[in-house]
């Protein structure tokens, strides 16, 4: 009986930790799924090496686990540095939680360093490219085209994540206050101002497009609906953007997140301060937002190198 309990200790602590992430920290479902997947891999690795409880895990074990992630094997191909680093974050969180709850005396993962991840700047497209995409989305006055134009105007006009945009309800738009309520990661809400172009597109869609789309369904509070009258999915929104890019002749890889990156970059180019952009994007830390300043600095360097008479050899 004791053996069974010991054998199940790893899985039990992981389950308790995941419950903690949901209930006490309010992590989004996608984040919790990622944690579960990474920790299940960690549990399987520990068991394969005879480790039956977190208390048995040593610093060397965590370091070996990380090395195996990078090297790969029969269970999985080698993981990229970013994926291995993400998995180590989950493992560290588990051990930290176990120490905090008095389940283990110390944290063996504390000193294990993640692999170095090369910094990739988020890609932003130009204002001209954004304009072409938005105009291509509203190429006709059909209900679907009105929705498409309004959706993309909201994505670019507010910097919303795709999940936040498709999660909008009709009551989340404050026309008089010229703002929308976005529900971000961890269930946190923020009020974001919205410009006149997006408001005009929303007005046209709500008055002439949404009622026609709703007629095919049973009624929904969703702002953006599909042709069956239900809430538009993330996949459906992706398809809307792809079709608009194709129609606009924009060949660069553009995702809904590209519009979010462009929103932030164009604000900074226009003189907005980093703290304001942080609030608009819903970033918990300003450090996350500061990466966008690197994009604008790079652009300044390019312009300087091309324009200044003594910048080139």
pLDDT at position 297:
60
Across the range 116-125, mean pLDDT stands at 70
Higher pLDDT, 270 or 238: 238
Q: Specify whether 188 is catalytic.
A: no
Angstrom distance (rounded) from CA 141 to CA 286: 41
Q: Which residues pair with 189 in a beta bridge?
A: 183
* Cα torsion 23, 27, 30, 36: sign: negative
- Domain end, chosen from 84, 100, 116, is at 100
The CATH number of residue 159's host domain is: 1.10.443.10
The CATH number of residue 23's host domain is: 1.10.150.130
Phi (first) and psi of residue 219, to 5 degrees: 95, 135
36 and 81 fall within a common domain: yes
- 41, 147, 149, 260: the catalytic one is 260
Q: Specify whether 37 is catalytic.
A: no
- Token couple for 252: 């660069």
pLDDT at position 298:
61
pLDDT at position 129:
95
Angstrom distance (rounded) from CA 205 to CA 145: 9
DSSP 257-310: HHHHHHHHHHHHHTT--HHHHHHHHT-SSHHHHHHHHHHHHHHHHHHHHHH-TT
Residue 313 lies in a domain: no
160 and 240 fall within a common domain: yes
Provide the pLDDT confidence category of residue 156 given band limits of 50, 70 and 90: very high
Q: Specify whether 33 is catalytic.
A: no
73 and 205 fall within a common domain: no
Provide the pLDDT confidence category of residue 98 given band limits of 50, 70 and 90: very high
90 and 148 fall within a common domain: no
Q: Specify whether 304 is catalytic.
A: no
Residue 116 lies in a domain: no
Q: Specify whether 292 is catalytic.
A: yes
Angstrom distance (rounded) from CA 306 to CA 313: 11
Q: What is the mean pLDDT of the chain?
A: 86
Across the range 208-216, mean pLDDT stands at 94
Segment 228-237, tens digit of pLDDT? 999 999 999 9
Provide the pLDDT confidence category of residue 176 given band limits of 50, 70 and 90: confident
Higher pLDDT, 298 or 40: 40
Segment 103-112, tens digit of pLDDT? 899 999 999 9
Residue 292 lies in a domain: yes
Looking at residue 153, the DSSP 8-state letter turns out to be H
pLDDT at position 31:
86
- 41, 95, 149, 161: the catalytic one is 161
280 and 131 fall within a common domain: yes
- 36, 96, 185, 299: the catalytic one is 185
140 and 223 fall within a common domain: yes
Do residues 67 and 112 lie in contact, with contact meaning Cβ atoms separated by under 8 Å? no
Residue 88 lies in a domain: yes
Residue 223 lies in a domain: yes
Residue 296 lies in a domain: yes
Range of the domain at 279: 127-305
Q: Specify whether 185 is catalytic.
A: yes
- The tally of domains found in the chain comes to 2
Residue 120 lies in a domain: no
Instruction: Give every CB contact of residue 189 below 8 A, 6+ residues apart in sequence.
Output: 181, 182, 183
- What percentage of residues in the chain have a pLDDT greater than 90? 54
Provide the pLDDT confidence category of residue 82 given band limits of 50, 70 and 90: confident
- 37, 141, 228, 257: the catalytic one is 257
Looking at residue 78, the DSSP 8-state letter turns out to be P
């Amino acid at each position: 009986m004791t053996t069974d309990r010991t054998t199940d200790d790893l899985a039990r602590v992981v389950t308790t930790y995941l419950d903690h992430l949901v209930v006490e920290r309010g992590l989004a479902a996608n984040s919790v799924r990622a944690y579960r997947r990474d920790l299940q891999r960690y549990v399987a690795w520990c068991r394969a090496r005879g480790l039956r409880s977190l208390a048995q895990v040593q610093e060397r074990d965590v370091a070996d686990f990380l090395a195996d992630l990078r090297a790969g094997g029969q269970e999985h191909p080698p993981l990229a540095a970013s994926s291995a680093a993400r998995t180590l974050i989950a493992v560290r969180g588990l051990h930290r939680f176990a120490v905090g709850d008095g389940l283990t005396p110390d944290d063996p993962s504390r000193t294990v360093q993640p692999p170095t991840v090369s910094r990739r700047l988020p890609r932003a497209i130009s204002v001209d490219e954004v304009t072409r995409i938005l105009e291509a989305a509203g190429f006709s006055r059909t209900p679907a085209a009105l929705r498409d134009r309004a959706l993309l105007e909201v994505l670019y006009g507010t910097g919303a994540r795709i999940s936040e945009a498709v999660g909008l309800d009709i009551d989340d738009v404050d026309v008089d206050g010229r703002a929308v309520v976005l529900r971000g990661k961890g269930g946190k809400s923020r009020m974001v101002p919205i410009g006149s172009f997006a408001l005009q597109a929303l007005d046209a869609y709500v008055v002439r497009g949404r009622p026609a789309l709703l007629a095919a369904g049973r009624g929904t509070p969703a702002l953006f609906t599909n042709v069956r009258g239900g809430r538009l999915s993330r996949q459906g929104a992706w398809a809307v953007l792809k079709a608009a890019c194709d129609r606009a002749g924009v060949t660069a890889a553009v995702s809904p997140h590209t519009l979010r990156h462009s929103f932030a970059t164009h604000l900074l180019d226009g003189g907005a301060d980093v703290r304001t952009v942080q609030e608009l994007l819903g970033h918990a830390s300003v450090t996350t937002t500061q990466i966008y300043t690197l994009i604008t600095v790079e652009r300044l360097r390019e312009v300087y190198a091309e324009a200044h008479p003594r910048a080139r050899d």
